[in-house]
């Protein structure tokens, strides 16, 4: 598969702050890629490097098979970018800005522009100053989705949208994927990521800590199980991958590495299962593990019974 974005070992410092500390990122052509990380992890810095607005100190970055710094203009012809905080010119109308952004890229599909304005319920005649945060974002989103480009870079694009508009946004992203376009979506809205993204990369402190498909990542986490058994359970503690085992009479509560679920279920079945609740790992749990500043790397290591420790390994498959 060709790569729309390919980044390795990217470093960027601002004075003493190391915003990027060896970032790796691979985004395949045609995929919707989630880009996640806690506040200050370096997401926006990475995006600005990908746009050639910042120059990396070291490491390589390729966007659409070009160098985003030296070939900025050529790369930008095929990119649409939506910043998280859209600032407009106070005396230009939304429609004017949409058309301007479109012309500054590869061009604008007039029909799609009209359709998107309709769908996002945007009034394009209003001036920049009078738009709310959500409406300013819609201006940038309409311009991005209506532009004739190959790659969309969306940096927390929905932080001001209402749930209805969030729906519209998600539909638009799916349409983009169906047309074969690549989307890099930086977001904190996990349901949105779960809904849209083929693969995700999680970064923390300027470094990629996990990368892969959601299924891959889920595999690395634990499933919670609560079971009511006919007899006394035996041998559960000895099973690999079982954590926080709590047995009270016939009642069992435990957590198990999702990759080891099979053996646990078999063991439970031997004792006769009366009721069973299994809670798959939520995305929140997955992300919280990585977001939490201390011990996140260690936590990732506990799930590595099958050796899938590093994000890189998952990413390369």
Partner 1 sequence: MTTTTGAVTAAPSAARSGGSRQLAGTGTLLRFALRRDRVLIPVWVAVNALMVLSMPNTLRGLYGTADERADLARQMETNASLRAMVGPLFDDGLGALTAWRVGVYAAALAAVTSLLIVVRHTRDEEESGRQEVVASGMVGRRAALTAALLAAAVANGVLALLVAVGLAGQGAVGAVALGLGIAGVGMLFATMAAIAAQLTESARLARGLTAGVLGAAFVLRAAGDSTTDDGASVLTWLSPLGWLENLRAFAGERWWVPALIGGAVVAQGVVAYALAGRRDLGMSFLPTRPGPAAGRLGTAGALAWRLQRGAVLGWSAGFLLAGVVYGRLTEGAADLVGDNAQARRIVERMGGQAGLTDAFVSAMVGMLGLVAALYVVASVLRLSGEETSGRAEPVLAGAVGRLRWAAGHLVVAFGGAALLMLFAGAGFAAGHGRDAGAILAACLVQLPAVWVIGGAAVLLHGVLPRGAVAAWGVAGAVLLLGWIGPALDVPQSVLDLSPFGHLPKLPGGEMSWPPVLALVLIAAVLVAVGLTALRRRDLTT
**Per CB under 8 A, 104 contacts partner 1:** yes
Residue 265, strand partner residues: none
Q: Which of residues 185 and 229 has its CB atom nearest to partner 1 in the complex? A: 185
> Smallest distance, Å, CB 201 to partner 1?
21
**Per CB under 8 A, 103 contacts partner 1:** yes
For 120, the 3-state DSSP assignment is coil
**Per CB under 8 A, 100 contacts partner 1:** yes
**Per CB under 8 A, 284 contacts partner 1:** no
Determine which residue in the list 3, 6, 11, 99 makes contact with partner 1, applying CB under 8 A. 99
Judge residue 172's burial from the number of C-beta atoms within 10 Å of its C-beta, 0-12 exposed, 13-18 middle, 19 or more buried: buried
**Per CB under 8 A, 90 contacts partner 1:** yes
Rg (C-alpha) for the chain, rounded Å, is 23
Determine which residue in the list 30, 83, 241, 259 makes contact with partner 1, applying CB under 8 A. 83
Determine which residue in the list 33, 105, 181, 204 makes contact with partner 1, applying CB under 8 A. 105
**Per CB under 8 A, 181 contacts partner 1:** no
Q: Which of residues 75 and 242 has its CB atom nearest to partner 1 in the complex? A: 75
**Per CB under 8 A, 10 contacts partner 1:** no
Q: Do 126 and 94 touch, CB atoms closer than 8 A?
A: yes
Cα 165 off chain centre by: 19
**Per CB under 8 A, 126 contacts partner 1:** yes
**Per CB under 8 A, 127 contacts partner 1:** yes
Task: Give the Cβ contact number of residue 266 at 10 Å.
Answer: 10
Judge residue 145's burial from the number of C-beta atoms within 10 Å of its C-beta, 0-12 exposed, 13-18 middle, 19 or more buried: buried
**Per CB under 8 A, 130 contacts partner 1:** yes
For 7, the 3-state DSSP assignment is strand
What angle, rounded to 10 degrees, do the helices at 163-178 and 133-146 form? 10
Q: Estimate the share of the chain in helix, then strand, then coil, as percent rounded to the nearest 5.
A: 35, 30, 35
Which residues, 31 to 60, sit near partner 1 by CB under 8 A? 48, 51-55
> Smallest distance, Å, CB 30 to partner 1?
21
> Smallest distance, Å, CB 156 to partner 1?
14
75: closest CA among 45, 49, 113?
Answer: 49
Q: What is the DSSP letter of 280?
A: P
Residues that bind partner 1 (CB under 8 A): 48, 51-55, 72-74, 76-77, 79, 81, 83, 85-93, 95-101, 103-106, 123-127, 129-130, 140, 153
């Amino acid at each position: 598969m060709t790569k729309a974005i390919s980044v390795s070992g990217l470093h960027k410092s601002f004075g003493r702050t190391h915003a990027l500390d060896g970032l790796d990122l691979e985004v395949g052509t045609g995929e919707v890629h989630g880009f996640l990380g806690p506040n200050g992890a370096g997401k926006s810095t990475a995006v600005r490097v990908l746009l050639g607005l910042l120059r990396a100190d070291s490491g390589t970055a390729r966007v659409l098979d070009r160098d985003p710094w030296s070939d900025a203009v050529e790369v930008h012809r095929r990119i649409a970018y939506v910043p998280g905080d859209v600032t407009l010119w106070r005396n230009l109308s939304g429609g004017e800005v949409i058309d301007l952004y479109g012309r500054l890229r590869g061009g604008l599909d007039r029909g799609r522009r009209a359709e998107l304005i309709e769908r996002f319920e945007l009034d394009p005649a209003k001036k920049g100053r009078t738009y709310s945060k959500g409406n300013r974002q819609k201006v940038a989103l309409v311009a991005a989705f209506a532009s004739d480009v190959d790659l969309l870079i969306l940096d927390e694009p929905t932080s001001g949208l209402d749930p209805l508009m969030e729906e519209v946004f998600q539909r638009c992203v799916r349409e983009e994927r169906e047309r074969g376009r690549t989307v890099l979506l930086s977001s904190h809205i996990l349901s949105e990521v779960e809904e849209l993204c083929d693969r995700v990369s999680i970064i923390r402190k300027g470094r990629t800590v996990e990368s892969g498909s959601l299924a891959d990542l889920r595999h690395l986490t634990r499933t919670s199980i609560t079971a009511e058994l006919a007899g006394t359970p035996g041998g559960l503690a000895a099973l690999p991958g079982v954590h926080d085992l709590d047995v009270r009479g016939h009642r069992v509560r435990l957590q198990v590495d999702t990759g080891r679920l099979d053996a646990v279920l078999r063991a439970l079945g031997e004792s006769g299962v009366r009721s069973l609740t299994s809670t798959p790992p939520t995305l929140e749990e997955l992300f919280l593990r990585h977001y939490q500043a201390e011990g996140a790397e260690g936590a990732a290591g506990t799930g590595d019974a099958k050796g899938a420790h590093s994000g890189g390994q998952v990413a390369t498959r």
